[in-house]
Structure 1
Amino acid sequence: MAVNSPAGARAAQPHGAASLAVEDLVAGYGDVLALDRVTISATAAGITAVLGANGAGKTTLLRAISGMVRPRRGRILLNGANQAGRSPEDMARAGITHVPEGHGVIAELTVEENLRLGMMSWPGMTSRRADRAAALAEAYERFRVLADRRRKLAASLSGGERQMLVIARALVARPRVLLLDEPSLGLAPRVMTQVMDMVMRLSKESGITTVLVEQNARAALAIADHGVVLNVGRVVAAADARTLAADVALRHHYLGF
């Protein structure tokens, strides 16, 4: 699963690096409180891993940041401006792109048609045809296997290729912040390693602020700059990734390794 480094990839991101912070965030579903006064900050142009057991609130955190869940309280700050309560469409236009759990391709569409969906958040969809062509060319240069399959249905792709496609589609949207929910879910160990390496390289090359939710804490901390551990909707630890990985008691109690 090769990921290439197109010339000018960093410059192609129109928004530049962004800071993201969540302050005193409360969110849930009906009577169920999933996030209880969560405060985190994401490393600008780096990877922040959000870790914890099932039910810790990781996915709800990403859904709140992307506007899919409306917070009951708190702030979501993008470069200092509060975005809390805005719609998913508004969040996308602000530069926040969410790749949800699962290989979320539209199987009935071709690879290229899936990639073109990433352009829907571009302002007014009025960009020149040359801009759209350039975005596709960059995606194909970075993900060569997708170039070879651009006319094939997404249903024909392997699990790893589908994950590559959803990440490529997210990058076509030209985000400032990329939210990745369990990108290694259901993948074979070898492919999972390739996906994690891809996420790390893309973050370094593009300058995008990445928030990575991942059940495999060991793999996530190996590529992250910063880490946050959630337990039952609350932050129980936040530090640089190496510090968290070296904390044996924390790992055993909350991260399972």
Structure 2
Amino acid sequence: MLTLTSLCAGYGPITALEDVSLTARRGEITAVLGANGAGKTTLLRTVSGLHRARSGAIDFDGTRLETVAAERMPRLGLAHVPEGRGVITELTVEENLRLGGLGRGGRVSSADLSRVNDLFPVLGDRRAALASTLSGGERQMLVIGRALMARPTMLLLDEPSLGLAPRIVAQIFGLVRTLVREDGLSVLLVEQNARSALSVADHGVVLNLGRVVADAPADELAGDDQLRHAYLGF
């Protein structure tokens, strides 16, 4: 579904991604793992058009993405949830969700809102509350819910566990797994919390200093003690 071939990207003289090739398959969670500075966030930003590749190819369902503008991505079926839980605090929960539906250029339906509220009941309970009043975990649910309003076929998730309690992390990852199982969603998940990511992922790719050092089924990566100790920190 999403294939990167010999992808290179960077910032000025700094190379962030070097000759990165990987495939994220339809209906699966593909985890991209590695330490801070490995190039994980740059990879997602390059796929979603927020950062331009220096070279290489990005193919999404037969469409080449290297020169596609970021604002066109939702219409192609890609939704990016950046790191940092960027809600619009001056708007209500429901207003934030409705903004997500505008990216695909169509009307926001009550069915879309109902689906998100079923997945994240707290958002339905607090739909009239300002986003500024939400907890960290609730904000993470809101930004994922907002992305789902665009009806994506692939979700790009950047560090969804960052700063959250383990119980909330487990809840969010469980919901992502539900979306894959029930809706056929495909997910490219960037995570530093390798243990949690591998527990829900189908496949894993490990980056180190911008290069792929491992690419294998998630259970194989989790069971490789040498790899885990060298690159994943557990």
Q: TM-score, normalised by structure 1?
A: 0.88
Cα distance, 1:161 vs. partner? 0.9
Mark the runs of 5 or more structure 2 residues left unpaired by the alignment: none
Letter in 2 for 1:91: M
- Given candidates 210, 216, 222, the residue that maps to 1:245 is 222
Q: How does 1:32-71 map to 2 (within 5 A)?
A: 32-71=14-53
Q: What amino acid does structure 2 have at the position aligned with 1:77?
A: D
Residues in 2 aligned to 1:98 and 1:229: alpha-carbon distance in whole angstroms: 20
Matched, 1:28 2:10: yes
- Asked whether 1:78 is paired with 2:78, we answer no
What runs of 5+ residues in structure 1 fail to find an aligned partner?
Answer: 1-18
**Map of 2:72 onto structure 1:** 90
1:203 aligns to 2:180 (yes or no):
yes
**Residues 105, 162 of structure 1: 8 Å contact kept:** yes
- 1:92, distance to aligned residue in structure 2 (A): 2.2
SS in 1 for 2:214: strand
Distance across 2 between alignment mates of 1:80 and 1:238 = 22
Deviations 1:76-119 (A, max 9, x none): 11113211121101222211110000111111110000001111
SS in 2 for 1:174: coil
Root-mean-square deviation (CA), in Å?
A: 1.1
What one-letter code is carried by the residue in structure 2 that aligns with 1:66?
S
C-alpha displacement at 1:143, in angstroms? 1.7
Cα distance in 1, alignment partners of residues 78 and 159 from structure 2? 17
Residues 1-257 of structure 1 aligned to structure 2 (within 5 Å): 19-123=1-105, 125=106, 127=107, 132-257=109-234
User: Structure 1 CA distance, aligned partners of 2:74 and 2:50?
Assistant: 11
Q: Residue 186 of structure 2 aligns to which amino acid in structure 1?
A: T
The aligned amino acid for 2:162 is L
Q: Percent identity?
A: 58
Work out whether residues 119 and 175 of structure 2, in 8 Å CA contact, stay in contact via their aligned partners in 1. Answer: no
How far did 1:189 drift?
Answer: 1.7
Q: Secondary structure at the match of 2:109?
A: helix
Displacement of 1:158? 1.1
> What is the letter of the counterpart of residue 166 of structure 1?
V
1:218 counterpart letter in structure 2: R
In the TM superposition, residue 134 of structure 1 has moved relative to its aligned partner by 1.9
Q: Any conservation in 2 of the 1:43–1:225 contact (CA below 8 Å)?
A: no
- Large movers: runs of 4+ above 2 Å: none
CA contact (8 A) 1:221 1:245 kept: yes
Measure, in 1, the Cα distance between the counterparts of 2:36 and 2:179. 27
Query: Which residue identity is paired with 2:45?
Result: R
Note the C-alpha offset of 1:251.
0.3
Structure 2 length-normalised TM: 0.97
Q: Any conservation in 2 of the 1:115–1:165 contact (CA below 8 Å)?
A: yes
Which letter maps to 1:230? L
TM-aligned CA deviation for residue 142 of structure 1: 2.2
State the alpha-carbon separation in 2 of the partners of residues 213 and 182 from structure 1.
Answer: 6
- Confirm or deny: 8 A CA contact 2:104 2:150 kept in the other structure: yes
AA paired with 1:203?
V
Distance 2:209 2:219 in 1: 23
Please give the per-residue CA displacement for 1:112-170, whole angstroms capped at 9, x wherever unaligned.
000011112223x3x3xxx5222112222222111110000011111111111111111
Aligned length: 234
Q: Once the 2 structures are TM-superposed, how far is the Cα of residue 29 of structure 1 from its aligned partner?
A: 0.9
